Amino acid sequence: MQMHDRRPNPAWASLPLFDRADWKRMAFGDFAQSIGDRADPKDAQEEIYVGLEHLDPQCLHIRRWGKGSDVIGGKLRFRKGDIIFGRRRAYQRKLAVAEFGGICSAHAMVIRARPDKVLPEFLPFLMMSDPFMNRAVEISVGSLSPTINWTTLKLETFDLPPLDQQRRIAEIFWAVDEHLQNALSLQWAAVEAKKAVLAEKLPRDGRFGPDVERSVDLQSLCKETITYGIVQAGPEVDDGIPYIRVTDMTNGPLRLEGTLRTSPEIAARFKRSTVRTGEIVCALRGPAGLLKVVPPELDGANLTQGTARISLSDDGLTGYVLRAFESPFIKRQVSLQAKGSTFAELTLAALRGIQVPVLKANVRSSFAKQLDSLDAASSASADLVADCQKLLRDLINQFS
């Protein structure tokens, strides 16, 4: 949001932002208006179209859109600076400030500030606050697709600071939002750079460059036959053998999401599914083809159904195989091989037969370092994104 069109006030830095003495309780319709300018997509085929599917929850920025020619039925017209608020399923918290004009879904409201009462820069943050969003959910009507009516929303009351306080508060909020957008850009850049590196070395179409010395099936890289996880949970015991499920694999490094353990007697019957430190666990369903390395604290754990144990003959290949399974080439194989009507699942035969292109040793080293660096950058920026999101959320609710 650009705020340079307003004259600076040198006293803003010393405003008592936490002093609510001059705040006023006002009906929403007294400081904001719903714009009902209707548009027919037939007359706006080349214009930008924003649907609810284009809005990200709790994000003030519109990052994607369609065209008027993509849709049918009556729509609403909005202009730059308007707020597009998803009035259907308000619990999704979809609300964004338009940085251009266009048409939007009739399942949204086009909200415009009354600038003599509320600054356009401040209004979006008031609407993102918990008090506003919680009330929006409460007044929604309908069971399958609860929707807000303007006639109800305009009567809801909220605390509003004086204009000079609004300006200073908005400056703080937009400054935090700018840092948040920069962090998101860094995260996106790291993710895209990693995709590019993987696609360059191990492209989807299998047209490998001179850095690939050979391509072999996964089983030929193993010292033992790839086997299913076959332990049935059985009764839980406090001091039993931990077992690994697909759900333990989905968030970061392999770690147990719960404290479920099975008895040594049950585990002993299924020794083939016992894993050791440094071996690889593969998810056969859910996120089929997802690989994780067994950490020392899970040495001797057992695998449940839906997972498989991979024991490579060369420990030096472990990191590379994990990287290779993130490549477009292997992801395409997994996608083609995973079968099932309820959920896609890899068979052991399919997993064993996955073709793994092996880079030359010197290239593998630089390849791994490059991807490690990009992963570290992605993780650091993700942490920054989370911190900025929390700070912005806390600030908004502090002033709401």
For the stretch 115-157, pLDDT in tens is 999 999 999 999 999 999 999 999 999 888 899 999 999 999 9
Is the separation of the CB atoms in 107 and 80 below 8 Å?
Answer: no
Q: What is the mean pLDDT of residues 263-280?
A: 79
Lowest mean pLDDT segment, chosen from 87-96, 309-318, 391-400 = 391-400
CA 134 vs CA 82, 85, 130, 172, 198: distances in Å:
22, 14, 6, 23, 44
C-alpha to C-alpha distance for 294 and 134, rounded to whole angstroms:
43
Q: How confident is the model at residue 35 (pLDDT cuts 50, 70, 90)?
A: very high
Residue 293 in this model has a pLDDT that exceeds 50: yes
For residue 17, the model assigns a pLDDT of 65
End-to-end CA distance of the chain: 20
348-364, pLDDT tens digit by residue?
Answer: 999 999 999 999 998 99
Instruction: Please give the pLDDT value at position 4.
Output: 47
pLDDT-derived band at 235, boundaries 50, 70, 90 = low
Task: Give the model's confidence band at 247: pLDDT under 50 very low, under 70 low, under 90 confident, else very high.
Answer: confident
Residue bearing the bigger pLDDT, 264 or 294: 294
Task: Report CA-CA distances (Å) from 273 to 53, 67, 260, 269, 383.
Answer: 43, 53, 16, 10, 35
Q: What does pTM read for this prediction? A: 0.80
**Is pLDDT at 15 greater than 80 in this prediction?**
no
Mean pLDDT of the chain: 89
Closest C-alpha among 314, 322, 121, 348 to residue 225: 348
- Looking at the chain, the whole-number percentage of residues with pLDDT higher than 70 is 89
Query: Among all chains, which residue has been given the structure tokens 């696609």?
Result: 199
pLDDT at position 210, please?
Answer: 93
Q: Which amino acid type is present at position 82?
A: D
Helix (H) or strand (E) holding 83: strand 83-86
| Total count of residues recorded for the chain | 400
